[in-house]
Copies of this chain bind each other. A is one copy, B any other.
């Protein structure tokens, strides 16, 4: 985005201290499309519906954000039982709660200050939870992990921003540059704007199912080096908003590239449990890095992020997550520990939910079967909805949707007729924003324009979650396809 220049101060002092002109220009430049103008309008329309204003629909469907519970997904019982007991230990005597949930709650409370979730935890998180995260990573990857490298966080966003904060330095052409995928999850562009780091775009190959290509990384790096000092490479796998799952070979190539070019790797792996396509599998950057052996395993610096907001649990509102740092300089790690201490600690209940996800009920334990059944039901339904999305969209001429191999979103490309582009221009809107606004006004469906994530010049997309219940999603996809066809006709 072009830098916003601060207008000169008016001759007479403004009435207020804090004005649009005097405020922090870096904050002005921040954009976050997932909760941007389209969502503001969606909330207004909801109010209008409540007031009885006539609309061609009866409800707003917010397919703009990966918010599973808001779309009706049920919480996993074991997670909620454990945390409810931690909040209110009086309920231990309730006979409807299974004994393993009670034992877990007791164990977690014994790790909390004063046996209360109301006490601050240690700033990097409750030690027992950090240990359980390390054990989870070891089981996942088959390589060692240590609690010392795990920092719990207020959702993954918090951890991502903290790692970026450490990495930003230098002025002018020496300012830290950060390579991010396009399309990207707009937390990255927002954080870089706020931290005044330089965004360096590398493009995913839509024609090859949003593959990440090292030649393109090389091009982007060379471009970035002309205006800043690129030191960080961000990868989102499985992709958000693009839904691709990276192959092991691709991850190896990226690691070699990072090693050769001396880039710090940030691997956003919050969708690691959300893999749907046959033949796709999640490979963590940590596992691949360690299995590659020296010099890579000893020298490439990596931060890998995870969250309780996605996967099968979808506990967005609890705000939990973690970062594992690999090969981080010990002094810098101490600086990270200091930095997180200023905010005291991540929300303790988010940490405890994370514990139950990292260390779920085992076969034979009272909660095991219910837990497994609930988890499989969620993941099975998501896989079905991923398939359905791609299928229905691709039946519509002008809409092109890559397979949703993982994550929670489709990111279809839409062809827009020249007259629509002209109409958007008149309104000063991006063409896909114009399309999405019209879609919202006429159908109540709220999706996010591709321009909010970035896309190749001249292409148009939108991001839509696959989260609504299957039957509702089907209707939604058909409504959307019908609207698209009508829209194209209107502007042809």
A interface with B by C-beta (< 8 Å): 6, 13, 15-20, 22-25, 27-28, 30-32, 35-36, 43, 65, 67-73, 75, 77, 80-81, 83-85, 87-88, 90-91, 93-94, 96, 112-114, 116-123, 154-155, 157-158, 165-169, 187, 190-191, 194, 231-232, 262-264, 299, 301, 313-319, 327-329, 331-332, 335, 338-339, 341-350
**Centre residue among A70, A81, A112, A313 by max chain B CB count within 10 A:** A70
A19-B329, A70-B116, A94-B94 as given contacts; A6 in contact with B344, CB under 8 Å = no
B346 touches A315 (CB 8 A): no
A35 touches B319 (CB 8 A): no
Q: Give the distance to chain B from A179, nearest Cβ to Cβ, in Å.
A: 13
Chain B residues, CB < 8 A from A329: 16, 18-20
A20 touches B69 (CB 8 A): no
B32 touches A342 (CB 8 A): yes
Write the chain B residue with the least CB distance to A197: B24
Q: Give the distance to chain B from A66, nearest Cβ to Cβ, in Å.
A: 9
A317 touches B19 (CB 8 A): no
Residue from the list B24, B77, B190 in contact with A169, Cβ < 8 A: B24
A67-B119, A118-B68, A167-B18 as given contacts; A346 in contact with B332, CB under 8 Å = no
Residue from the list B36, B73, B119, B339 in contact with A114, Cβ < 8 A: B73
A118 touches B342 (CB 8 A): no
B69 touches A318 (CB 8 A): no
Q: Give the distance to chain B from A373, nearest Cβ to Cβ, in Å.
A: 16
26 contacts between A and B (CB under 8 A): A18-B301, A18-B328, A19-B329, A19-B332, A20-B329, A20-B332, A27-B165, A27-B166, A30-B338, A31-B338, A32-B341, A67-B119, A70-B113, A70-B114, A81-B88, A81-B90, A91-B96, A118-B314, A119-B317, A157-B342, A158-B343, A187-B342, A317-B349, A318-B347, A319-B346, A319-B348
Residue from the list B23, B113, B190, B194 in contact with A67, Cβ < 8 A: B113
Chain B residues, CB < 8 A from A114: 69-73
B72 touches A83 (CB 8 A): no
**Centre residue among A116, A166, A331, A349 by max chain B CB count within 10 A:** A116
B187 touches A27 (CB 8 A): no
